[in-house]
């Protein structure tokens, strides 16, 4: 009997072992190297559009504000200005400011704001044993945070290299590594709050022949001379610092490239499914005894009316008005949403636009149609949908998938 059940167990174990890659392939989360993945062409047309969301990245040339000040008898720890990287850096950045709160030895903490930065800060403070109340104008599902793209982009418009300096580069590395590790704890949960996707970058010319944008001529206006970012080359890129833990992109050969475009790269991209993840974070916060008070502040002096001795200030772009902080500038971005499609679990970048299949829909975003790079949207605070931008981005993928349908499966 023992031998029989052992043999049965071994068969079952082998079957379940074999079924793991099969299940992954069926879900098309990751393709098997050396084979042609069968990616379904997507139904991407303007007549499928369900929503256009516009958001302002809260950008500071020197990187996020993390300093501490005294306002009356309150210790106020600022925590805003995460540019295009707030989702990605949230846990690591929260860990740094909660460390500052812990050094006061106070147990009761107020967090201002309930975007991704406020909510992860609140949870991190709870995990450090603090009693937390969030005071906020809006809750996570209605904040700017949920108007983002929602993928791992930890150095997207996070700072300018020179004003931020080398000190910020190492702080950034600390934040990015801590966040990456924390996000791994949220993988494989019901509803896939955090997930991975194969993301393909396509090009009509070989990647090694894609021209780099020309460096600005010496003496051109820059941040130092104007107080505002002036060209894409000024934006910091820190990805090299963490390349040992982030899946690399592979250039595909023709036998692995399912697209009707000559050149393709593929990387395994971490993504944030806003609905499932936001719901989970709010539930965790309430389960740990957190409280939320809906309240708008007009000046930091109003923090003096709170009962908590420590205030962590996470108002995102709202800090420009609340703290009169003009070092915080808007970088406009728009995402366009279509219904989710069954079995469609990949992302594509092509001709300056991005598409990403998520549980809450297919996200299409115009990245750069003009060659301006990271300067696209800088200082643009127009927070209203631009339908023509949506049409152009969606048109790129409509054309791509129309060409793909003609290909053998
Ligand atoms: C198009 C686009 C795509 C993006 N894609 C990504 C991505 O793929 N990956 C990534 O990591 N990041 C991305 N980002 C960046 C990311 O969305 C932001 O960095 C992040 O949302 C900032 O979060 P936050 O909590 O600081 O701000 P918010 O989400 O704006 O939250 C601020 C909170 O403070 C409250 N508040 C503000 N003012 C007051 C006040 N006066 N009184 C009381 N409460 C107040 C608000 O109600 C809100 O609850 C993207 C941004 C854009 C625009």
Q: pLDDT by residue (tens digit) across 32-45?
A: 788 888 898 999 99
Cα(88)–Cα(179) distance, rounded to whole angstroms? 7
For residue 29, what pLDDT is reported?
62
d(CA 327, CA 325): 5
How far is 397 from 402, CA to CA, in rounded Å?
Answer: 8
Kindly report the protein residue whose alpha carbon is nearest to atom 21 of ligand 1: 145
- Predicted confidence at residue 332, as pLDDT, reads 98
Q: For the chain, how many structural domains are there in total? A: 1
Q: Determine the atom of ligand 1 nearest the C-alpha atom of 317.
A: 30
Residue ranges with strand state E in 113-262: 131-136, 194-203, 250-251
Residue 249 within any structural domain of the chain = yes
Report yes or no on 5 lying in a domain. no
Pairing of strands 131-136, 108-112: parallel
Give the tokens for residue 315.
């108002």
Degrees, nearest 5: CA angle 121-126-132: 80
Residue 334 Cα to ligand 1 midpoint, Å, equals 13
Distance (Å, rounded) from C-alpha 302 to C-alpha 71? 9
Q: How confident is residue 366, by pLDDT bands cut at 50, 70 and 90? A: very high
Q: Whose CA is nearest to atom 22 of ligand 1?
A: 86
- Per DSSP, the three-state class of 145 is helix
Structural domain includes residue 88:
yes
Q: Is 258's C-beta closer than 6 angstroms to any atom of ligand 1?
A: no
Q: How large is the average pLDDT for residues 258-266?
A: 96
Q: What does the pLDDT read at residue 216?
A: 86
How confident is residue 407, by pLDDT bands cut at 50, 70 and 90?
low
Instruction: Give a yes or no: residue 201 inside a domain.
Output: yes
* End-to-end Cα distance, the chain: 48
∠ CA(182), CA(187), CA(192), 5° rounding? Answer: 130
CA of 320 to the centre of ligand 1 (A): 13
Of 33 and 143, the one with more pLDDT: 143
Kindly tell me if the per-residue pLDDT of 20 is higher than 50: no
pLDDT band at 115 (very low <50, low <70, confident <90, very high): very high
For ligand 1, is residue 86 a contact (CB within 6 Å)? yes
13 assigned to some structural domain = no
Of the candidates 352, 328, 357, 386, which has an alpha carbon nearest to the alpha carbon of residue 56? Answer: 328
| Residue with CA closest to ligand 1 atom 4 | 148
Q: How far is the CA of 388 from the centre of ligand 1 (A)?
A: 24
Helix or strand or coil: residue 51?
Answer: strand
Whole-angstrom Cα distance, residue 280 to residue 282? 6
Question: Residue 299: its pLDDT value, please?
Answer: 98
Ligand 1 center to 363 CA (angstroms): 18
Q: Is the CB of 52 under 6 A from ligand 1?
A: no
Task: State yes or no: pLDDT of 23 exceeds 70.
Answer: no
pLDDT at residue 210 in the model: 78
The separation between CA 147 and the C-alpha centre of its own chain, rounded to angstroms, equals: 10
Query: Is residue 168 domain-resident?
Result: yes
Helix or strand run (H / E) with residue 90 = helix 86-102
Q: Which among 358, 351, 357 has a CA at the least distance from the CA of 42?
A: 357
Best mutation site among 90, 143, 376 for ligand 1 pocket (most ligand atoms within 8 Å of CB): 143
Beta carbons of 380 and 334 less than 8 angstroms apart = no
73 Cα–ligand 1 center, Å = 28
pLDDT of 409 > 60? The answer is no
**Cross-strand bridge partners of residue 77:** 68, 312
**Ligand 1: does its nearest atom lie under 6 Å from the Cβ of 316?**
yes
Q: How many CA within 13 A on the CB side of residue 154?
A: 28
Whole-number Å distance, alpha carbon 332 to ligand 1 midpoint, is 12
Ligand 1 centre distance from Cα of residue 374 (Å): 18
- Residues 353-362 have a mean pLDDT of 95
Adjacent-strand bridge partners of 291: 133
29 lies in some domain: no
Ligand 1 atom 33 nearest Cα: 113
pLDDT digits (tens, 9 = 90+) for 275-317: 999 999 999 999 999 999 999 999 999 999 999 999 999 999 9
What mean pLDDT comes out for the span 69-81? 98
Q: Are strands 68-71 and 108-112 parallel, antiparallel or unpaired?
A: unpaired
- Residue 203 has a CB neighbour count (10 Å cut-off) of 16
Rounded to an integer, the average pLDDT of 57-73 is: 98
The residue to mutate among 80, 144, 355, having the most atoms of ligand 1 within 8 angstroms of its beta carbon, is 144
What's the whole-number average pLDDT of the chain?
A: 91
CA of 33 to the centre of ligand 1 (A): 37
Answer whether 380 contacts ligand 1 (Cβ < 6 A).
Answer: no
**Is the distance from the beta carbon of residue 79 to the nearest atom of ligand 1 less than 6 Å?**
no
Judge whether 28 lies within some domain: no
Sheet containing 194-203, strands listed edge to edge, beginning at the edge strand earlier in sequence: 51-60, 328-338, 361-366, 353-358, 346-350, 194-203, 263-272, 250-251
Q: Tell me whether strands 68-71 and 310-313 are parallel, antiparallel or unpaired.
A: unpaired
pLDDT tens digits for range 158-216: 999 999 999 999 999 999 999 999 999 999 999 999 999 999 999 999 999 877 777 88
d(C-alpha 348, C-alpha 350), whole Å: 7
Nearest CA, atom 3, ligand 1: 148
Rounded mean pLDDT, 97-107: 98
**Percentage, residues of the chain above pLDDT 70:** 92
For residue 406, the model assigns a pLDDT of: 58
pLDDT band at 5 (very low <50, low <70, confident <90, very high): very low
Could you tell me the residue range of the domain that residue 157 belongs to? Answer: 37-212+222-405
**Distances in Å between the alpha carbon of 235 and those of 140, 177, 223?**
28, 20, 10
Categorize the per-residue pLDDT at 143 as very low, low, confident or very high, splitting at 50, 70 and 90: very high
Cβ of 55 closer than 6 Å to ligand 1, yes or no, is: yes
Q: Whose CA is nearest to atom 2 of ligand 1?
A: 148
pLDDT on residue 34:
81
């Amino acid at each position: 009997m023992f031998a029989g059940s052992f043999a049965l167990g071994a068969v079952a174990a082998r079957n379940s072992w074999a079924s793991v890659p099969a299940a992954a392939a069926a879900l098309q989360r990751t393709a098997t190297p050396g084979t042609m993945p069968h990616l379904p062409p997507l139904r991407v047309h303007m007549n499928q559009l369900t929503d256009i969301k516009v958001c302002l990245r809260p950008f500071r040339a020197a990187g996020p504000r993390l300093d501490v000040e005294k306002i009356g008898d309150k210790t106020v720890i600022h925590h805003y200005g995460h540019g295009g990287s707030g989702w990605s850096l949230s846990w690591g950045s929260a860990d740094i400011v909660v460390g500052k709160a812990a050094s006061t030895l106070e147990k009761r903490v107020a967090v201002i704001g309930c975007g991704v930065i406020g909510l992860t800060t609140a949870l991190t403070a709870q995990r450090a044993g603090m009693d937390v109340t969030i005071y906020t104008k809006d809750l996570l599902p209605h904040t700017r945070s949920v108007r983002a793209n929602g993928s791992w982009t930890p150095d997207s418009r996070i700072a300018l290299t020179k004003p931020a300096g080398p000190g910020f580069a190492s702080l950034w590395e600390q934040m990015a590594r801590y966040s990456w590790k924390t996000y791994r704890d949220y993988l494989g949960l019901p509803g896939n709050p955090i997930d991975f996707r194969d993301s393909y970058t396509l090009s009509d010319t070989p990647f090694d022949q894609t021209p780099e944008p020309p460096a600005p001529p010496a003496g051109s206006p820059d941040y130092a001379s104007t107080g505002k970012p002036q060209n894409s080359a000024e934006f910091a890129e820190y990805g090299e610092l963490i390349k040992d833990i982030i899946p690399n992109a592979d250039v595909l050969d023709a036998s692995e490239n399912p697209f009707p475009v000559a050149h393709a790269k593929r990387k395994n991209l971490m993504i944030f499914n806003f609905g499932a993840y936001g719901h989970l974070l709010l539930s965790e916060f309430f389960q740990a005894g957190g409280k939320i008070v809906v309240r708008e502040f007009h000046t930091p002096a109003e923090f003096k009316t709170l009962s908590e001795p420590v205030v962590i200030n996470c108002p995102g772009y709202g800090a420009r008005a609340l703290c009169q902080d003009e070092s915080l500038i808007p970088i406009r971005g728009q995402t366009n949403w279509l219904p989710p499609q069954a079995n469609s679990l990949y992302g594509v970048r092509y001709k300056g636009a991005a598409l990403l299949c998520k549980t809450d829909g297919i996200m299409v975003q115009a990245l750069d149609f003009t060659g301006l790079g990271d300067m696209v949207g800088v200082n643009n605070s127009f927070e209203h949908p631009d339908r023509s931008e949506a049409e152009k981005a969606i048109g790129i993928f409509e054309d791509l998938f129309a060409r793909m349908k003609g290909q053998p499966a």
